């Protein structure tokens, strides 16, 4: 709870800095503030408590994921410095929006009441709409913002409808009450229907097939830093929330009582396979790196959905997977931001010869792509390993085999970028070594490798 | 001191090489690889004295993954092969200039680290990690420092990477499945797993895919010749000398003992695949115009025979396979080095553009001849010992296997001697062929000394590997 208040306070401070004319200090102060929030959040870890009539419940799950969100936000704020240096007057707005977005994300994983959940999702979404359209003179950015807003508000409506149906079925918004009454043998059909509507809405936020159509266009059109945010922070917030919804509302046991579990699992398996395959196959054909990573994100969403098959045991696995994925994503986007800062597109040709001009950044991008592809010692490999382990344990061997085949396909497009960096001649000068971009890239990939060397650090947090 | 020291030396060596800068890199790399070799000989000594040099430490609790490095005779023999060849390979590259040499040599040491780890790991997942790690450096070595047209090279290397990764991911799935069955990735637990014959078949096939691509066994060999040709010679030596031995070693260590029923039931099929590789490789080698490609196909034929020997499931077969792995490792490195030596002077790999070297450099010619004869398994060379044992074990299974497998010697002698004739003999070449330099001579001398010494006296190696092979056989035959 304190975390949430502190984050919101920090966001307001960011706005005040603008008034106080402290724009230059805003990035360091926000980072310091977020580090403080991280420490605060760490203190809350392990203390299970609920606040304000159960509106917010702090649990291990919520604090662990909140920490991850805060860490990712720190990177995103650090990257803002160079990204917005052409718009010095607006930087406090941009940073404040990111902090508010984080508040929305934290509320989404620590809700104790569906009203709070909806509040969180709206705070997050509205911040995202604004950021997507934040390059207001660029028509593509406008298009992206508009598209995202239309589709997103539609999804919000569906979620809201689902919440209403659940309220109708259960007579409560409170998740502990719903959790208990979900076990009763006689449930109105509204409950599963409401859940399905909510899951559909969340799948839209995650960008899982078949609710993924917005993602490539929005990712491509949005400013690169916003794309970074969407593909890392927003995605893992949505996945964690979906997981919490399914486990917190006791959906699995309730479906089991009504003999619907098998259907549910089939649907999850189908969605997961469809997301992985469609995402990967579409990614193979992309020449725009942001678009490619959008499709890669869709396929990773498919992997993350696999955790829904083993809800009771896989919270730790999900945390590990999201951490590995988000850290690799941040490292990759740091390099993309550097390489594409003076270009109006993010085509692969921009990366030609990066291995010669900036060996360090090329190595970092390579490492992050290898992590996403699941090559050992990077945490992406262990994430996949633990996920496959869980899934085989639950008896879905064929799903794992499809996932394995997809991992092989994904190497195809990740390596396209690696080859462009190392085996093509540089076609442009790349000058300057912006400290914050380098720092964000190095630290995030280092964290990724540390997670790979010591997976227990994160994996055991939620067991 | 235990086997982890070797890995630590190699890993530190990789970083030190990278930090030492382009000028010193090759020397630093050589120094560290020699240190690792010295360390491994010391460990061999301790092992022979009965000391326990295995290493075990906890890594990940859930799922249980242990840092277990187990050094038995077989593992030590393979590590010695790796560490003996690495300095030779590094030393042989002294005559070449590489751009960004520090990364190049660091990658070589890193690859040696991963390969040595693969041979030592006694935990399925640790083994898998090393197995994959070895793939990354060779990918970059072949991609960045390779030769030939860049676009073709890119295609060949990416195909290689995706092929091998595809195979190994199925192996990973098999490991996870085994973990569900036994609750552990540890080798001994996996050996003790109780699996139905159907499960064994699937696991055997999953492993087979990974190993057949790496070795390579027909029909999974299509990546090989192109990558061998396009990679820089150092990369080709690493690939053919050590890396493909990872696949052969893994057959003995992991595939056969974990799924023995499947191995026994389909024994004939897998031996036939190996033999098919022998015949196919030999025939295709006859037609090659590029020296490196010819050697690649000859290598395909030889490893086919080794694989066939492993799948016989007899002590002679396994022992012959291991002996031949080591012998082949040395001889193939020597041959590719000879191709490189010629390339340095003639700047061509086309056999038709060579010839007449004997008149200009009799020293090089005689060394090349020894390597060629060793490659065709002339008695008194190390390769003869291995090849003969394998053929003997094949004849135990079915005399026709031995007859067909024996074509490797007949056809091998034909294409190798024909190649020798075209490359070395004939009228003096218009291009001058400078005599071998001291550095080159040392590399050749070491390789030839090893081949001849163990040709006459293979006992130290057979003594080293036989007990562990017997253990593996007892696991295979436990029921």
At A174 the three-state DSSP class reads: strand
Share of chain A above pLDDT 90, in %: 50
pLDDT at B479 over 80: no
From A456, which residue of chain B is nearest by alpha-carbon distance?
B60
How far is it, in rounded angstroms, from Cα B267 to Cα B196?
18
Q: Would you say residue A448 lies in a domain?
A: yes
How many contacts, defined by CB atoms under 8 Å, are there between A and B?
75
User: Which pLDDT score, from 0 to 100, does residue A330 have?
Assistant: 95
B57 φ/ψ angles, rounded to the nearest 5 degrees: -155, 150
Q: Decide if B162 and A408 are in contact by the 8 Å CB cutoff.
A: yes
pLDDT score recorded for residue A48: 83
Q: Does the structure show a pLDDT above 90 at A66?
A: yes
Q: Would the pLDDT of B432 be above 80? A: no
Q: What pLDDT does residue B25 have? A: 87
The answer as to whether A385 is a domain residue is yes
**DSSP assignment, residue B96?**
S
In a domain, A345, yes or no: yes
The three-class DSSP label of residue A352 is coil
Tens of pLDDT, residue by residue over A394-446, are 889 899 999 999 998 998 899 888 888 888 888 877 777 888 899 999 999 99
CA atoms within 13 Å, Cβ hemisphere of B214: 30
pLDDT tens by residue, B100-136: 888 899 999 999 999 999 999 989 899 999 999 999 9
A306 within domain boundaries? yes
Q: What is the mean pLDDT of residues A109-120?
A: 92
Q: In the beta sheet, which residues pair with residue A288?
A: A347
Chain A partners of B135 at a C-beta cutoff of 8 Å? 375
Q: Over the stretch A168-222, which tens digit does the pLDDT of each residue have? A: 988 888 988 888 888 877 788 888 888 889 999 999 989 888 898 899 899 989 9
Q: Do B176 and A400 touch (CB under 8 A)?
A: yes
Q: How many CB atoms lie within 10 A of CB B352?
A: 10
Average pLDDT over residues B5-12: 91
CA–CA dist A117, A339 (Å, integer): 38
B129–chain A nearest CA distance, Å: 5
Q: Would you call A243 helix, strand, or coil by DSSP? A: helix
End-to-end alpha carbon distance in chain A: 22
Q: Which of B67, B121, B151, B173 to mutate to test the interface with A (most CBs of A within 10 A)?
A: B173
A430 occurs within a structural domain: yes
Domain that holds residue A448: 285-463
Q: In total, how many domains does chain A have?
A: 1
Q: Categorize the per-residue pLDDT at B53 as very low, low, confident or very high, splitting at 50, 70 and 90.
A: confident
Give the pLDDT confidence of A239-251 residue by residue, as tens digits.
999 999 988 888 8
Q: Which of B11, B60, B64 to mutate to test the interface with A (most CBs of A within 10 A)?
A: B60
Shortest alpha-carbon distance between residue A262 and chain B (Å)? 22
Are the C-beta atoms of residues A306 and A234 closer than 8 Å to each other? no
Least Cα separation, residue A6 to chain B (angstroms): 35
Chain A contacts to B (CB-CB under 8 A): 355, 359, 370, 375-377, 381-382, 385-386, 388-389, 392-393, 397, 400-401, 404, 407-408, 411-412, 415, 419, 422-423, 455-456, 459-460, 463
pLDDT, average across residues B312-322:
90
Report, as an integer, the average pLDDT of B285-307.
Answer: 89
pLDDT class of A226 with cuts at 50, 70, 90 = very high
| Residue of B381, B392, B264, B275 whose CA lies nearest to B331 | B381
Cα distances (Å, whole numbers) of residue B23 to A70, B136, B289: 44, 24, 36
d(CA A86, CA B479): 74
Structure tokens at B258: 């974990």
Comparing alpha-carbon positions, the chain A residue that sits nearest to B131 is A376
3-class secondary-structure state, position A326? helix
Tens-digit pLDDT profile for residues B142-154: 888 888 777 888 8
Residue A366 banded pLDDT, cuts 50, 70, 90: very high
Nearest CA in chain A to B140: A422
Residue B428 in this model has a pLDDT that exceeds 80: no
Question: pLDDT tens-digit profile of B196-235?
Answer: 888 889 999 999 999 999 988 888 888 888 888 888 889 9
For residues B126 and B175, what is the distance between their CA atoms, to the nearest angstrom? Answer: 11
Contact list in B for residue A392 (CB cut-off 8 A) is 173, 176-177, 180
| Section B76-98 average pLDDT | 89
Query: Do residues B404 and B305 touch, judged by C-beta distance below 8 A?
Result: no
B143/A422 CB distance under 8 A:
yes
Q: Please, what is the average pLDDT of chain B? A: 88
Query: Region B165-184: what's the mean pLDDT?
Result: 88
Verdict on whether the full-model pTM lies above 0.80: yes
d(CA A346, CA A417): 12
- Residues of chain A with Cβ-Cβ distance to B102 below 8 Å are none
> What are the pLDDT digits (tens) for A332-354?
999 999 988 878 778 888 888 88
Instruction: Note whether residue A295 is domain-resident.
Output: yes
In a domain, A435, yes or no: yes
Q: Looking at chain B, which residue has its C-alpha nearest residue A412?
A: B162
Per DSSP bridges, beta strands B65-69 and B55-60 are: antiparallel
Count Cβ neighbours within 10 Å for each residue of A378-412 and write b for 16 or more, e otherwise: bbbbbbbbbbbbbbbbbebeebbbbbbbbbbbbbb
How confident is the prediction for chain A on average, in pLDDT?
89
């Amino acid at each position: 709870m304190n975390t949430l208040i502190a984050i919101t306070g920090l966001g307001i401070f960011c706005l005040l800095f603008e008034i106080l004319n402290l724009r230059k200090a805003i990035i360091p102060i926000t980072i310091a503030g977020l580090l403080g929030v991280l420490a605060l959040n760490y203190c809350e870890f392990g203390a299970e408590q609920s606040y304000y009539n159960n509106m917010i419940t702090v649990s291990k799950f919520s604090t662990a994921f909140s920490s991850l969100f805060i860490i990712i936000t720190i990177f995103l704020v650090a990257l803002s410095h160079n990204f917005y240096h052409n718009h010095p007057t607006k930087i406090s707005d941009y940073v404040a929006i990111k902090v508010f977005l984080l508040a929305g994300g934290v509320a989404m994983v620590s809700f104790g009441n569906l009203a709070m959940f909806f509040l969180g999702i709206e705070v997050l979404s509205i911040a995202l709409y604004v950021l997507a359209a934040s390059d207001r003179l660029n028509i593509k950015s406008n298009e992206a913002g508009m598209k995202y807003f239309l589709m997103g508000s539609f999804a919000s409506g569906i979620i809201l409808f689902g919440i209403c149906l659940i309220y109708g079925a259960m007579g409560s918004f409170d998740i502990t009450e719903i959790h208990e009454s979900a076990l009763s043998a006689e449930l109105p059909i509204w409950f599963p229907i409401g859940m399905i509507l909510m899951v559909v809405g969340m799948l839209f936020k995650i960008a899982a097939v078949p609710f993924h159509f917005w993602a490539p266009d929005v990712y491509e059109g949005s400013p690169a830093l916003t794309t970074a945010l969407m593909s890392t922070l927003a995605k893992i917030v949505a996945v964690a929330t979906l997981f919490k919804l399914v486990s917190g509302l006791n959906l699995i046991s309730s479906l089991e009582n009504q003999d619907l579990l098998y259907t549910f699992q089939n649907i999850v398996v189908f969605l997961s396979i469809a997301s992985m395959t469609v995402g990967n196959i579409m990614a193979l054909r992309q020449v725009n790196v942001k678009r490619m990573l959008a499709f890669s994100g869709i396929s990773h969403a498919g992997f993350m959905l696999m955790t829904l098959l083993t809800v009771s045991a896989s919270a730790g696995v999900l945390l590990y997977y999201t951490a590995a994925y988000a850290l690799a994503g941040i490292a990759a986007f740091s390099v993309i931001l550097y390489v594409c800062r003076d270009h109006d597109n993010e085509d692969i040709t921009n990366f030609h010869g990066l291995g010669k001009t900036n060996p360090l950044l090329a190595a970092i991008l390579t490492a992050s792509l290898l992590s996403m592809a699941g090559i050992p010692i990077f945490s992406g490999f262990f994430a996949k390993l633990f996920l496959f382990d869980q899934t085989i344990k639950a008896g879905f061997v064929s799903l794992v085999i499809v996932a394995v085949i997809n991992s092989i396909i994904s190497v195809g497009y990740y390596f396209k970028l690696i080859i462009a960096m190392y085996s093509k001649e540089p076609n442009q000068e790349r000058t300057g070594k912006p400290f914050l971009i380098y720092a964000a890239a190095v630290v995030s990939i280092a964290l990724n490798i540390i997670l790979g060397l010591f997976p227990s650090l994160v994996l055991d947090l939620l067991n | 001191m235990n086997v982890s020291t070797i890995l630590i030396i190699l890993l530190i060596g990789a970083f030190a090489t990278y930090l030492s800068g382009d000028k010193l890199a090759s020397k630093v790399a050589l120094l560290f690889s020699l240190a690792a070799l010295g360390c491994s000989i010391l460990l061999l000594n301790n092992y022979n004295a009965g000391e326990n040099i295995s290493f075990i430490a906890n890594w990940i609790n859930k799922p249980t993954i242990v840092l277990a490095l187990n050094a038995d005779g077989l593992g030590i023999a393979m590590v010695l092969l790796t560490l003996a060849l690495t300095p030779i390979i590094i030393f042989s590259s002294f005559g070449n200039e590489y751009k960004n040499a520090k990364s190049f040599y660091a990658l070589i040491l890193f690859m040696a680290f991963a390969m040595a780890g693969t041979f030592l790991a006694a935990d399925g997942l640790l083994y898998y990690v090393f197995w994959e790690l070895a793939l990354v450096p060779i990918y970059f070595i072949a991609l960045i420092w390779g030769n030939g047209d860049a676009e073709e090279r890119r295609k060949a290397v990416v195909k290689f990477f995706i092929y091998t990764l595809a195979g190994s991911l199925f192996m990973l799935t098999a490991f996870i499945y085994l973990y569900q069955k036994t609750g552990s990735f540890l080798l001994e637990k996996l050996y003790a797993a109780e699996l139905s014959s159907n499960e064994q078949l699937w696991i055997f096939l999953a492993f087979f895919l990974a190993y057949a691509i790496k070795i390579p066994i027909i029909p999974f060999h299509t990546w090989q010749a192109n990558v061998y040709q396009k990679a820089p010679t150092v990369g080709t030596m690493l690939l053919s000398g050590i890396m493909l031995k990872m696949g052969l070693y893994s057959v003995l260590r992991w595939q056969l003992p974990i799924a023995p029923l499947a191995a026994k039931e389909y024994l004939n099929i897998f031996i036939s695949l190996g033999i098919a590789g022998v015949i196919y490789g030999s025939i295709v080698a006859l037609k090659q115009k590029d020296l490196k490609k010819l050697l690649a196909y000859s290598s395909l034929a030889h490893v086919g025979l080794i694989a066939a020997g492993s799948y016989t499931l007899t002590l002679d077969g396994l022992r012959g396979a291991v002996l031949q792995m080591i012998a082949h490792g040395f001889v193939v490195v020597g041959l590719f080095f000879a191709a490189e030596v010629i390339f340095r002077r003639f700047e061509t790999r086309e056999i038709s553009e060579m010839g007449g070297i004997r008149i200009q450099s009799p020293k090089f010619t005689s060394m090349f001849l020894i390597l060629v004869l060793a490659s065709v398994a002339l008695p008194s060379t190390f390769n003869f010992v291995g090849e003969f044992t394998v053929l003997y074990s094949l004849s135990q299974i079915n005399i026709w296997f031995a007859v067909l497998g024996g074509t490797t010697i007949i056809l091998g002698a034909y294409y190798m001697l024909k190649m020798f004739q075209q490359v070395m003999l004939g009228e003096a070449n218009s291009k001058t062929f400078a005599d071998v330099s001291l550095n080159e001579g040392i590399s050749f001398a070491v390789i030839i000394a090893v081949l001849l010494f163990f040709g006459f006296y293979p006992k130290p190696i057979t003594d080293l590997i036989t007990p562990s092979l017997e253990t593996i056989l007892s696991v295979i035959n436990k029921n």
